[in-house]
């Protein structure tokens, strides 16, 4: 089977001023297969969102290649490729407030993609599709007439999820899409994402910091640190046999919902100030498990 998405040696730099360039993503490579969930975790500011935004081409990659659906989408996009991309790849954004147009009703925010791709026969069908997806993400059809600011943080995040799911895309980039939800609704949304995956074999790039959830939902996981992929492997490999010191530090810091234990706990600090990742290479631990080493 061919991978649905192939990211090869992706680099994404931002020039802030003449003498300050942020190297947000440095030679990151990974693949996602149809129907698979790839979890991306890592330090805040390590480039997770940037990778997502480069893949969906909100940025022009500084270097490297992105192959999606057997098409190279890293260079200039012709009209046809662009249309294919917009239909088959959706992103759920980290900041729900700034990604929802405040002047539009929820129905029109969710319906926008449907409108562009004429995905319904008549207005009644459009309303039905929207009511249906609202219900699936745990909102009510009555919410369709409200505006984004009239929602709680978690309700807004679900609007973003509904907007992505309603298009039936092949790849969904979900950037911290459940972090503002209470645990019960998180469970509901994650169950829904799994159901939809079973139904449509869509793939997820699941960016999150809640490691129990990432472990639960992901087939494979990539760990990012300072713009480098420092470790990647099957979900169980990463959790039962973490090799990179950053991965170890990350796992040691997962808070445990038990006050007696948690109030005493210390986590492993990883000081990386003297590490030069640029000259490290990926070492094979198993067929599926790789780690960046000197």
Partner 1 sequence: MEKNILSIENLDVTFRTNSGNIHAIRGIDLNLPRGKTVAIVGESGSGKSVTMKAVTGLLDDNSVINSGKIFYFQGGKKIDLLTLTKKELRKKINGQQISMVFQDPMTSLDPTMTIGAQITEGMFLHKKISKADAEKKAVELLKLVGINDAEKRMKNFPHQLSGGMRQRVVIAIALSCEPKVLICDEPTTALDVTIQAKILDLIKNIQEKMGLSVIYITHDLGVVAKVADFVNVMYAGKIIEVGTAEEIFYDPRHPYTWGLLSAMPDLETDDDRLYSIPGSPPNLLHEPVGDAFATRNKFAMKIDKKISPPMFRISETHFAATWLLHPDAPKVELPAELKKRIERR
Ligand X SMILES: Nc1ncnc2c1ncn2[C@@H]1O[C@H](COP(=O)(O)OP(=O)(O)OP(=O)(O)O)[C@@H](O)[C@H]1O
Residue 21 as a binder of ligand X (CB under 6 A): the answer is: no
Among residues 30, 151, 204, 206, the one that binds ligand X under rule CB under 6 A: 151
Q: Which stretch binds partner 1 (CB under 8 A): 62-70, 81-89, 106-114, 212-220?
A: 212-220
Nearest to 56 by CA among 66, 41, 46, 44: 66
Please tell me the distance from the alpha carbon of residue 227 to that of residue 248, in angstroms, as a whole number: 18
26 lies in the binding site for partner 1 (CB under 8 A): no
Shortest CB 95 distance to ligand X, Å = 9
Question: Applying CB under 5 A, which part among 43-51, 123-131, 218-226, 263-271 lies near Mg ion?
Answer: 43-51
Give the relative orientation of helices 153-165 and 106-116 as an angle to the nearest 10 degrees. 20
Kindly state the smallest distance separating residue 104's Cβ from ligand X, in Å: 16
Tell me phi and psi for residue 225, to 5 degrees: -145, 125
Burial annotation 148-158 (CB, 10 A radius, 16+ → b, else e): beebeebbbbb
Q: Is 206 in the site for ligand X (CB under 6 A)?
A: no
| Strands, sheet with 203-207, edge to edge from the N-terminal-most edge strand | 89-92, 171-175, 203-207, 37-42, 220-225, 228-234, 290-293, 281-284
**Rounded least distance, CB 13 to partner 1, Å:** 13
Report the candidate in 182, 201, 214 with the shortest Cα–Cα distance to residue 38. 214
Stretch that binds ligand X, among 60-68, 109-117, 124-132, 152-160 (CB under 6 A): 152-160
Backbone angles phi, psi at 241, to 5 degrees: -140, 60
Residues in contact with partner 1 by CB under 8 A are 14, 16-17, 20, 22, 41-46, 48-50, 94-98, 138, 140, 142, 145-146, 149-155, 176, 179-188, 190-191, 194, 209-213, 215-216, 239, 249-250, 253-263, 265, 267, 269-270
Residues in contact with Mg ion by CB under 5 A are 49, 94, 152-153
């Amino acid at each position: 089977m061919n991978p649905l998405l192939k990211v090869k040696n992706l680099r994404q730099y931002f020039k802030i001023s003449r003498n300050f360039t942020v190297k947000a993503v440095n030679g990151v490579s990974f693949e996602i297969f149809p129907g698979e969930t790839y979890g991306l975790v890592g330090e805040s500011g390590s480039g997770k969102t940037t990778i997502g935004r480069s893949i969906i081409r909100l940025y022009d990659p500084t270097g490297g290649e992105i192959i999606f659906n057997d098409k190279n989408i890293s260079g200039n996009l012709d009209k046809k490729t662009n249309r294919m991309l917009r239909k088959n790849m959706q992103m759920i954004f980290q900041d729900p407030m700034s990604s929802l147009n405040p002047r539009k009703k929820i129905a029109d925010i969710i319906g926008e993609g449907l409108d562009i791709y004429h995905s319904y026969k008549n207005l009644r069908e459009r309303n039905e599709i929207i009511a249906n997806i609202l219900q699936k993400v745990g909102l009510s059809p009555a919410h369709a007439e409200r505006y984004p600011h009239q929602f709680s943080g978690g309700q807004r995040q679900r609007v973003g999820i509904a907007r992505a799911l309603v298009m039936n895309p092949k790849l969904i980039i979900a950037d911290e899409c459940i972090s503002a939800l209470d645990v019960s609704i998180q469970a509901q949304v994650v169950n829904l994402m799994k159901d939809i995956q079973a139904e449509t074999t869509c793939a997820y790039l699941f960016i999150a910091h809640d490691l129990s959830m990432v472990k639960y939902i992901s087939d494979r996981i990539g760990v990012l640190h300072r713009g480098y992929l420092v470790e990647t492997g099957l979900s169980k490999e990463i959790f039962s046999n973490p090799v990179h010191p950053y991965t170890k530090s990350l796992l040691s810091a997962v808070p445990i919902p038990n006050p007696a234990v948690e109030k005493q706990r210390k986590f492993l600090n990883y000081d990386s100030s003297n590490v030069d990742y640029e000259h490290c290479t990926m070492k094979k631990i198993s067929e599926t498990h790789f780690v960046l080493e000197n």
